[in-house]
A and B are shown apart, each in its own frame.
Chain A
């Protein structure tokens, strides 16, 4: 079963709710190793996406993803704006003009999002960034059986992203503001990896 542009919009609205609920948690994670603005910035960005969708829901999944991308780039700032913005932009490009999203397209879009984030931020696995949640998420999505539903694929990706985010606790950050702390950042989960896991979980729940 496919997912229309309205379904993608619903997933983004769900993500906005989850980001708002976890705003303080993301602030706290970021306060430990950075400057404490991640929850605030993500919340500002996703609130803006929801208002943009109130005006108009674009006709294709790609159109919705692009709206999310441009909104995040122009509202969030910091590193999260360009990184998440690039992720949605690359996913949008990969979705092309399809009027609904199926599993192979979803997996390809997730891979494109990961590639985009890595191209912009230059992080690799093990640097203690959002990439540590995204890499296992994409692998898990790719490993899903051919008859899996969109909800199954997103759930597998969200589960893997949770474990990936958890793995950043033991890592020495090598990118982003946390890298300035070096060893002192060990013992703290990367806020970007956590927000990536939260978004994928929200998408998975919305797809159910």
Chain B
């Protein structure tokens, strides 16, 4: 394993130190438990929007702390959800009478720890609600599984909900909006190589030179199926089909298309894939009105990409376009 680290046990803490000095104008990092908080927190008369999860998905979530997006991000160990006391510390640092919304990706560990944190907050008489995002169409949605994973849709959810909180929407309104977004966002991911978790030191799964994992999540776990490598046209068509057939998105729908690198796929390939996806959606009569392309929710150095489609209406488009000032997303200011 070759990585630019000192010790697997201190990777996250040392990285947060770097994040703090690189973006001191936007955020602060509080220690023990580690929490990334907006520099101007707590913001008076504003619903706090808080998310978190295992490290290793950078810039998610710490890179999205700032004006117009998250009030706090709670990092866990690599690919491991944070503990309830860490979430509680984030709530304490950001939450006032307006309450807080926790954005939780649907993994057993995240759900359990955030659930416990919400109970602790309720005991402190704070109005803290949770919304679970589960946009991954690779997983069968059945009562016999833990349900679908939360993946790329999380980034779009955090931006839109963050904008609503920034303009002063109530907790009821912000929560309802979050549920609406969760209802109309879908994603699929593919991996060309596995990530190396620092404390494991070897690839998370073994993939032959001519194999692709189709339907992966964001933790280096194997996907829905293993398929032979194929040209971008065929692969992107397979991904678009998996998403569009799920909701389904219909001809005439306006959407946001988010093409995400899993960490090691370069923009050269990402833009190539994005172009194909736009063409395929146009052929189906689906109108791409907004775009996001880049590495925004990653799995360490995994090669691969994900596509996320969000059905837009005027409200969602306006909130997407609203100003945002974070380390990883900045516009309109």
Cβ of B22 under 8 Å from chain A: no
Partner of A182, one of B80, B140, B205, B219: B140
Q: How many residues of B contact A (CB 8 A)?
A: 35
Partner of A121, one of B112, B145, B205: B112
| B204 partner residues in chain A, CB cutoff 8 A | 31, 35-36
| A34 partner residues in chain B, CB cutoff 8 A | 219, 221
Cβ of A107 under 8 Å from chain B: no
Partner of B81, one of A31, A78, A175, A184: A78
Cβ of A40 under 8 Å from chain B: yes
> In the bound complex, how far is the Cα of B78 from the Cα of A43, in angstroms?
15
A77 nearest CB across to chain B (Å): 5
| B79 partner residues in chain A, CB cutoff 8 A | 35-37
Q: Specify which of A35, A36, A79 lies most central, judged by the most chain B CB atoms within 10 Å of its CB.
A: A35
Cβ of A83 under 8 Å from chain B: yes
Cβ of B325 under 8 Å from chain A: no
In the complex, the answer to whether B112 meets A37 with C-beta atoms within 8 Å is: no
> In the bound complex, how far is the Cα of B76 from the Cα of A51, in angstroms?
21
A185 nearest CB across to chain B (Å): 9
In the complex, the answer to whether A77 meets B80 with C-beta atoms within 8 Å is: yes
CB-CB under 8 A for A37 and B199, given A81-B83, A120-B112, A179-B145: yes
In the complex, the answer to whether B144 meets A36 with C-beta atoms within 8 Å is: no
Partner of B219, one of A35, A82, A120: A35
**B294-329 Cβ-contact flags toward A at 8 Å (1 or 0):** 000000000000000000000000000000000000
B187 nearest CB across to chain A (Å): 13
Q: How large is the interface on A (under 10, 10 to 19, 20 to 34, 35 or more residues)?
A: 20 to 34
In the complex, the answer to whether B146 meets A41 with C-beta atoms within 8 Å is: no
In the complex, the answer to whether A181 meets B144 with C-beta atoms within 8 Å is: no
In the complex, the answer to whether A77 meets B113 with C-beta atoms within 8 Å is: yes
Partner of A36, one of B83, B108, B197: B197
Cβ of B84 under 8 Å from chain A: yes
| B205 partner residues in chain A, CB cutoff 8 A | 31
| B149 partner residues in chain A, CB cutoff 8 A | 180
In the complex, the answer to whether A37 meets B221 with C-beta atoms within 8 Å is: no
Q: Which of A48-91 contact B (CB under 8 A)?
A: 73-83
Name which residue of chain A comes closest to B140, CB basis: A182
DSSP class of A's interface residues: helix, strand, loop or mixed? Answer: helix
In the complex, the answer to whether B200 meets A36 with C-beta atoms within 8 Å is: yes
Name which residue of chain B comes closest to A181, CB basis: B222
Cβ of A33 under 8 Å from chain B: yes
CB-CB under 8 A for A73 and B84, given A35-B220, A82-B113: yes
In the complex, the answer to whether A177 meets B107 with C-beta atoms within 8 Å is: yes
In the complex, the answer to whether A37 meets B197 with C-beta atoms within 8 Å is: yes
| A175 partner residues in chain B, CB cutoff 8 A | 108, 145-146
| A33 partner residues in chain B, CB cutoff 8 A | 221-222
Cβ of A176 under 8 Å from chain B: yes
In the complex, the answer to whether A174 meets B145 with C-beta atoms within 8 Å is: yes
> In the bound complex, how far is the Cα of B82 from the Cα of A176, in angstroms?
16
> In the bound complex, how far is the Cα of B108 from the Cα of A107, in angstroms?
28
Cβ of B59 under 8 Å from chain A: no
**A19-35 Cβ-contact flags toward B at 8 Å (1 or 0):** 00000000100010111
| B76 partner residues in chain A, CB cutoff 8 A | 77-78
Partner of A81, one of B109, B146, B197, B219: B109
| A182 partner residues in chain B, CB cutoff 8 A | 140, 145
Cβ of B116 under 8 Å from chain A: yes
A105 nearest CB across to chain B (Å): 27
Q: Which of A134-179 contact B (CB under 8 A)?
A: 174-177, 179
| A44 partner residues in chain B, CB cutoff 8 A | 77
Using CB atoms and an 8 Å cutoff, list the residues of chain B in contact with chain A.
Answer: 33, 54, 76-85, 107-109, 112-113, 116, 138-140, 144-146, 149, 197, 199-200, 204-205, 217, 219-222
